[in-house]
Amino acid sequence: MADQLSESHISATAVAVAYFRHVESGRADALISDKLAWPLVEATGLGPDLLRLPEENVRRVIDGIAVRTRYIDEAVEDAVAAGIRQIVIVASGLDARAFRLDLPPDTTVFDIDLEPVQELKRMVIEDHPRAKLWQPVVADLKQDWVAALREAAFDASIPALWICEGILYYLTEDESERLMRSITAASVPGSRISGDHRGKGTLLPGQHQVVAKRVADAGYEFQSIVDDPTIWLAEHGWASDSVTTVREHALRHGRDLGYDEQRGSEIGWLYTAHR
């Protein structure tokens, strides 16, 4: 299999992340439970070891993915508890939140990605009892994806929760800015956003450079960072409710990611904010 899969296939990173969720789900002290992760990986016909990371890095990446997933899962749960019934997952990959979280029956999860991703997910979840909550939106983020979202019955007049997980740092600074501007323009007061981003520490020498290099070798180079998510979010019209680093949040869950992190040189950010 070629390292970089074409746009007509499922990306290597999407498959790898789903596999990591599968591994985490099997732990006795698992932070998440994703029973669809392996069926989705299996349906791609690809092996799980797509990024071929050293074992030491694999353990750290799995912990990081687990912590990130748990953080955003909690943001979803908080949003629906506050009455939000529209969840928009931007560049969802093999995400399965519509099926694995206990969401109210009147919730709609708008799942934005390319056609091959959506077709694969349809095949796997066709008979799932929560499939009615899932609204796939076939769109390319470099085109008019907001129009496609509205055609799928997204209501821009009521609040929504936007999830930007594992996407912004694969975009250039300009692409990332355009995406955030589009999200803000489609959000009324009371809307929320949650996701992750890379920090300045990503660019410094360290263990994380092994991961960054392997991701780049596979054709998915980290292309943008943020120094301070609170400022970055405010510039786009969002007030931060929670900003932390992946390392800090991992330690709260008893997971040591195996690297130090200096203030001003953060490696990975997690954030939740409201409009």
pLDDT tens digits, 4-16: 333 445 788 888 8
Coil, helix or strand at residue 243: strand
Residue type present at position 208: H
Domain CATH for 120: 3.40.50.150
Could you report the per-residue pLDDT of 214-250, keeping only the tens digit for each? 555 555 577 899 999 999 999 999 999 999 999 999 9
Average pLDDT, rounded, for the chain: 88
Q: Total domain count for the chain?
A: 1
pLDDT of res. 219: 52
In a domain, 134, yes or no: yes
User: Is-above-0.85 flag for pTM?
Assistant: yes
In a domain, 40, yes or no: no
Could you report the per-residue pLDDT of 188-215, keeping only the tens digit for each? 999 999 999 999 888 776 555 555 555 5
In a domain, 246, yes or no: yes
For residue 198, the surrounding DSSP H or E stretch is: strand 192-198
Report DSSP letters for 39-78, one per residue.
Answer: HHHHHHT--S-SS---HHHHHHHHHHHHHHHHHHHHHHHH
In a domain, 5, yes or no: no
Contact 250, 67 (CB under 8 A): yes
In a domain, 228, yes or no: yes
In a domain, 200, yes or no: yes
If pLDDT is split at 50, 70 and 90, which confidence band does 183 have? Answer: very high
> Which residue segment(s) compose the domain that 230 sits in?
54-274
In a domain, 235, yes or no: yes
Could you report the per-residue pLDDT of 248-262, keeping only the tens digit for each? 999 999 999 888 888
In a domain, 45, yes or no: no
Neighbouring-strand partners of residue 245 = 269
